[in-house]
């Protein structure tokens, strides 16, 4: 079975190489499936070539479709969208594709324009709903819920959910919400899939831990907090730093490491009294596991909002597989419910005293036990099983 995965991205996204390529490669190794990726983006040629090489190394067939940014980004995107359906149709015809997998709203719209053509050829569509991206834009990016743009996006999502043969989500809560909107009769088409990570990549590494900590100037006895990922108001940086400061005042053997792309924008938000205690680094993805191995605590806090119900942050799995106990917010998909009973995880509800007690207790946890939690909920093998269950007989 040839499966075409379709995405629409900016010039700075790495989730294909970090998340989907390992999953697709694993599925190709255990099934007769062949994955093709068509990425609409405005990335530079050097970035496109880099992604293409990574795809080829994984045995994945990759095609990039440039998204125009002229005369303005909006007009250019509309022009690309208007021709995108034809490009998808041509690819389907020339590569004997058996199944389409549009990810999120704009790819869904381009596929919806081919509905009659696809139905005439009995080509199934698997919609990767990927959380609630429209709601996330309302919650954090200024999209007005009653605007024409928002109503159009929601209409596209609703139509795709109704017409798709299968719908993939990252949480059971997301399935329940979709069913409320689309009707209980749609229930059989929904599948929750895991954002799995490779335990061979994210793992404790004592030798690397020592090297990185020496580079950072951190002693063996210092507790190193770690936040990895994007920076924005939804990620609660001030709250992280306040919690860190509270613990530091109790015990000065604490330091905080941020692994982010834009160091300067974060640097300006660090209070003066924390500047000597907070480290900010930007490293290539290949080195990220090394820095995880050097840490003692992984942070995944998110501002409360309706869109959280559909999320499953991949960093939580990376932290746990690296042997790190994890601090996470409540309400993140199903995770705060699933992980609340795990000793390696603490669900933060402004309960500062309870957090400090838990953090002290994590010193007695073994990395083996922490990794076991990570493999159970976030292992690559779990992802492969989820996707095989969702896509078989498609």
pLDDT in tens, 336-355: 889 999 999 999 987 778 89
Q: Tell me what the mean pLDDT of segment 6-13 comes to.
A: 92
pLDDT tens-place string over residues 243-259: 999 999 999 999 999 99
Structure tokens at 62: 């990759």
Q: Tell me what the mean pLDDT of segment 50-55 comes to.
A: 96
pLDDT at residue 263, as a whole number:
85
Angle between helices 105-112 and 148-163 (to 10 degrees): 60
Q: Tell me what the mean pLDDT of segment 281-290 comes to.
A: 92
Instruction: Report whether pLDDT(184) > 80.
Output: no
**C-alpha to C-alpha distance for 54 and 21, rounded to whole angstroms:** 8
**C-alpha to C-alpha distance for 223 and 218, rounded to whole angstroms:** 9
Give residue 389's pLDDT band: very low, low, confident or very high (50, 70, 90): very high
Instruction: Report whether pLDDT(237) > 80.
Output: yes
**C-alpha to C-alpha distance for 25 and 17, rounded to whole angstroms:** 11
Instruction: Report whether pLDDT(12) > 90.
Output: no
Give the contacts of 215 (CB within 8 A, at least 6 positions apart).
Answer: none
Instruction: Report whether pLDDT(216) > 80.
Output: yes
Angle between helices 148-163 and 133-140 (to 10 degrees): 160
pLDDT at residue 324, as a whole number:
98
**C-alpha to C-alpha distance for 222 and 214, rounded to whole angstroms:** 12
> Residue 268's closest CA among 282, 278, 259, 255?
278
Instruction: Report whether pLDDT(377) > 80.
Output: yes
Instruction: Report whether pLDDT(185) > 90.
Output: no
What's the mean pLDDT when you consider all of the chain?
Answer: 94
DSSP assigned state of 125: B
Q: Are 134 and 41 in contact (CB under 8 A)?
A: no
Give residue 393's pLDDT band: very low, low, confident or very high (50, 70, 90): confident
**C-alpha to C-alpha distance for 246 and 356, rounded to whole angstroms:** 9
> Residue 299's closest CA among 274, 326, 324?
326
pLDDT at residue 352, as a whole number:
78
The residues facing 34 across adjacent strands are 2
| Burial class (CB within 10 angstroms; exposed 0-12, middle 13-18, buried 19+) of 332 | buried
**C-alpha to C-alpha distance for 46 and 342, rounded to whole angstroms:** 43
Q: Tell me what the mean pLDDT of segment 370-390 comes to.
A: 96
CA angle 88, 123, 164 (to 5 degrees): 90
Helix (H) or strand (E) holding 299: strand 297-300
CA angle 379, 9, 148 (to 5 degrees): 115
pLDDT at residue 14, as a whole number:
84
pLDDT at residue 124, as a whole number:
97
Structure tokens at 229: 């990922």
Q: Tell me what the mean pLDDT of segment 117-127 comes to.
A: 96
Give the contacts of 5 (CB within 8 A, at least 6 positions apart).
Answer: 20, 24, 35, 36, 37, 38, 101, 103, 128
Give the contacts of 224 (CB within 8 A, at least 6 positions apart).
Answer: 213, 216, 218, 254, 255, 256, 257, 294, 295, 296, 297
The residue count for the chain: 394
SS3 17: helix
What Å distances lie between residue 222 and 206, 214, 218, 227, 239, CA to CA?
15, 12, 6, 16, 21
**C-alpha to C-alpha distance for 145 and 85, rounded to whole angstroms:** 27
List helix spans (H) across the chain.
Answer: 15, 21-30, 45-57, 73-95, 105-112, 115-120, 133-140, 148-163, 172-182, 206-216, 237-250, 263-267, 288-294, 314-321, 335-339, 352-361, 367-378, 380-391
Task: List, as one string, the DSSP characters of 316-341.
Answer: HHHHHHTT--EEEETTSTTHHHHHTT
Q: Before 71, cis peptide (omega within 30)?
A: yes
pLDDT at residue 285, as a whole number:
85
């Amino acid at each position: 079975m040839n499966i075409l995965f379709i995405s629409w991205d900016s010039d700075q996204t790495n989730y294909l190489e970090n998340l989907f390529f390992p999953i697709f490669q694993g599925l190709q190794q255990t099934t007769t499936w062949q994955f093709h990726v068509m990425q609409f983006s405005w990335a530079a040629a050097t970035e496109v070539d880099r992604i293409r090489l990574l795809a080829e190394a994984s045995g994945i067939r990759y095609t990039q479709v440039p998204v125009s940014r002229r005369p303005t980004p909006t007009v250019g995107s509309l022009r690309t969208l208007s021709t995108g359906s034809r490009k998808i149709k041509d690819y389907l015809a020339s590569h004997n594709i058996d199944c389409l997998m549009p990810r999120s709203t704009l790819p869904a719209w381009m596929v919806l324009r081919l509905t009659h053509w696809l139905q005439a050829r009995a080509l199934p569509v698997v919609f990767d709903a990927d959380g609630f991206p429209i709601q996330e834009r309302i919650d954090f990016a200024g999209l007005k819920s009653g605007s024409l743009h928002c109503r159009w996006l929601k209409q596209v999502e609703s139509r795709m959910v109704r017409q798709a043969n299968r719908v993939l989500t990252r949480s059971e809560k997301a399935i329940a919400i979709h069913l409320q909107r689309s009707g209980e009769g749609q229930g059989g088409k929904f599948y929750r899939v895991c954002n799995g990570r490779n335990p061979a990549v994210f793992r404790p590494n004592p030798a690397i831990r020592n090297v990185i900590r020496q580079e950072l100037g951190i002693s063996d006895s210092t507790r190193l907090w770690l936040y990895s990922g994007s920076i924005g108001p939804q990620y609660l940086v001030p709250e992280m730093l306040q919690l860190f400061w509270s613990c530091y005042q109790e015990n000065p053997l604490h330091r905080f490491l941020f692994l982010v792309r834009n160091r300067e924008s974060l640097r300006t938000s660090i209070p003066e009294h924390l500047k000597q205690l907070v480290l900010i680094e930007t490293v290539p993805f290949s080195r990220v596991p090394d820095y995880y191995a050097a840490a003692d605590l992984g942070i995944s806090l998110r501002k409360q909002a309706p869109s959280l119900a559909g999320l499953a942050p991949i960093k939580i799995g990376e932290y746990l597989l690296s042997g790190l106990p994890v601090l996470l917010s409540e309400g993140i998909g199903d995770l705060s419910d699933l992980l609340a009973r795990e000793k390696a995880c603490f669900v933060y509800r402004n309960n500062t005293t309870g957090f400090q007690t838990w953090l002290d207790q994590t010193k007695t946890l073994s990395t083996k036990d922490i990794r076991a939690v990570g493999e159970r909920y976030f292992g690559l093998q779990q992802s492969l099983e989820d996707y095989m269950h969702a896509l078989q007989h498609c």
